[in-house]
Amino acid sequence: MSSKIVVRVEDLHKRYGNEEVLKGVSFILRQGEALAIIGPSGTGKSTLLRCINRLTEPDSGRIWLEDTEITGAKTDMNKIRQQIGFVFQDFNLFAHLTALDNVRLGLMKVKKLSKGEASERAMTELKRVGLAEKAKAYPAQLSGGQQQRVSIARALAMDPKLMLFDEPTSALDPELIGEVLQVMKALAGEGMTMVVVTHEMGFARSVCDEVIFMEQGVIVEQGPPEHIFLQPRQPRTQQFLGKIGELYGGTGS
């Protein structure tokens, strides 16, 4: 059952000054798959994610979205980005707009929907994340978890082929993490293709189809969650998961 490839990343390199944050990363992601990227902080996970929609420009390497190479100089990234939903660690909702307007902005200005159509679509997405009743609220009036759900709705409204989550729960109070993970889990269940950079091992293990363990700019190990979490082959992976296990009492809890 090899379905269509949604993203192909080939030999991606990125350097900040003297430090090479990505040292040749390659992977493919098929339609409907949820991929978790785990690993210690500062090992290039977020950079990798931002390179996929070129919010950060990779130094070299190639990326395809479905059949289109998006690393060419002539690529119209505004066209590509609207097909890739991006969820930030710190939400980044537009501070001056209500939840509804946050979701509506891209629909009206990028997709050029009428206000009526955009409102209808935006409300559908807000309902999907369980926040229809907060449509008129401003970001500063919402909890972190609610803000993150609105930002997921904002990304979903654009009908993305792919969703990228950059540590979506790392800035949240522990009791707010659950509501966001639940939305993401439902998305994965509906067959959304997604890449999730996360420290939530439980989520990676139970929701994702594939896990990449990254360290110091390279993929150390990759495989289905049961392999990575139960029988990691690389000593570094074992060590990392062992540490996390100590911290939380068992991997994946």
Partner 1 sequence: MNPLAPFCQTLEEGSFVRLVCDISPRLLQGTATTFQLTVLAIALGLVGGLLLALGRVYGKKPIYWLSTAYVQFVRGTPVLVQLFLIYYGLPAFEIRLDPLTAAIIGLGLNSAAYQAEYFRGAIQSIGRGQMLAARAVGLTNVQAIGYVILPQALRMVIPPWSNELIYTLKYSSVAFIIGTPELMATGQIIASSLRGPGAFRHFEVFLIVAFIYLVCVLVISKLLDLLEQRVKIPGLEMQRA
Q: Does residue 106 interact with partner 1 by CB under 8 A?
A: yes
- Residue of 3, 26, 68, 141 that binds partner 1 (CB under 8 A): 141
Task: Provide, rounded to whole angstroms, the least separation between the CB of residue 55 and partner 1.
Answer: 6
4 binds partner 1 (CB under 8 A): no
Q: What value, to the nearest 5°, has the Cα angle with vertex 91 and ends 85 and 94?
A: 90
> Using the 8-state DSSP alphabet, how is residue 98 labeled?
-
Q: Residues 152, 156, 159, CA angle at the centre, nearest 5°?
A: 165
- Output the smallest distance, CB 194 to partner 1, in A: 15
Measure the CA–CA gap between 137 and 118, rounded to whole angstroms: 17
Residue in 4, 79, 127, 243 binding partner 1, rule: CB under 8 A: 79
- Among residues 21, 34, 65, 93, the one that binds partner 1 under rule CB under 8 A: 93
Q: Figure out which of the listed residues 82, 182, 206, 216 binds partner 1, where binding follows CB under 8 A.
A: 82
| 94 forms part of the interface with partner 1 (CB under 8 A) | yes
Q: Which residues contact 26 (CB under 8 A, 6 or more apart)?
A: 9, 10, 11, 12, 61, 219
CA 99, CA 97: separation in Å to the nearest integer? 7
Contact window for partner 1 (CB under 8 A) among 58-66, 77-85, 178-186, 235-243: 77-85
Question: Binding mask 41-60 vs partner 1 (x if CB under 8 A, - otherwise)?
Answer: ------------x-x-----
Which residues, 6+ apart, have CB-to-CB distance to 109 below 8 Å? none
Beta-strand relationship, 60-65 and 68-69: antiparallel
User: Which residues make beta-bridge pairs with 29?
Assistant: 7
156-185 binders of partner 1 (CB under 8 A): 158
**Interface positions with partner 1 (CB under 8 A):** 53, 55, 78-79, 81-82, 84-86, 88, 90, 92-96, 105-106, 109-110, 137-141, 151, 154-155, 158
